[in-house]
A and B are shown apart, each in its own frame.
Chain A
């Protein structure tokens, strides 16, 4: 697609429920990132995929959070037993790795999660 697409744009759920957030990166982009942005804060890194594998998941806050990218394109961020503190905007970004060593991330508009 032309840009990074994230669905749903808004999700309201109750504490304790399971949530899935989807990210469709730019076609051909090999790297995919998830960030979380709480109100009034900058985005915080969660996890990074290179192809199908999670190359760095050091930002996942705990084992309730999990992300997959089974075919190296679309990724799903999964949150189990949601808590009110999980409320935030979850941002996905993708990039194309090249020989320069550092690449520009293209971000999606985010999925706003509200846990009641």
Chain B
């Protein structure tokens, strides 16, 4: 069975600080996808990134970066120079790599609050 653990329930940082959100996953599949979604107060889940299990290169997108470590089954997310607009609940998710099926297993989320 698949499982995603986000041990940090809530994090608060002062604006402009860097913050890392942790994600640890479990799966028996050799091929899988990992995701991060952002859920602002409006409630709509916003896609941030998808990473294939064969691609362990770290990725950077503006102030966002992701560190995928297959050896420790972790897919951590770092926000650099945080801003108030980054305040949201962030979910890490995992799916099997089946064509056309994005059946996601989500973690319980990390509520991030950026203090002005």
Contact = CB atoms under 8 A, between A and B. Distances in A.
Contacts of A20: none
Contacts of A107: 37, 44-46
A45 B52 CA distance: 20
B67 interface: no
A107 B43 CA distance: 10
Interface string A46-87: 001010000110010000000000000000000000000000
Interface size class of B (residues with CB under 8 A): 20 to 34
A55 B101 contact: yes
Given A42-B91, A42-B107, A103 B43 contact: no
A108 interface: yes
A43 B104 CA distance: 9
Interface in A85-106: 89, 91, 93, 95, 97, 101-106
A40 interface: yes
Interface in B98-116: 98-109
A45 B98 CA distance: 16
A48 B47 contact: no
B100 A97 contact: yes
Contacts of A108: 44
Interface of A: 30-31, 33, 35, 40-45, 48, 50, 55-56, 59, 89, 91, 93, 95, 97, 101-110
Given A31-B101, A33-B103, 9 more contacts: A40-B108, A42-B107, A50-B100, A59-B103, A102-B52, A103-B100, A104-B47, A109-B42, A109-B44
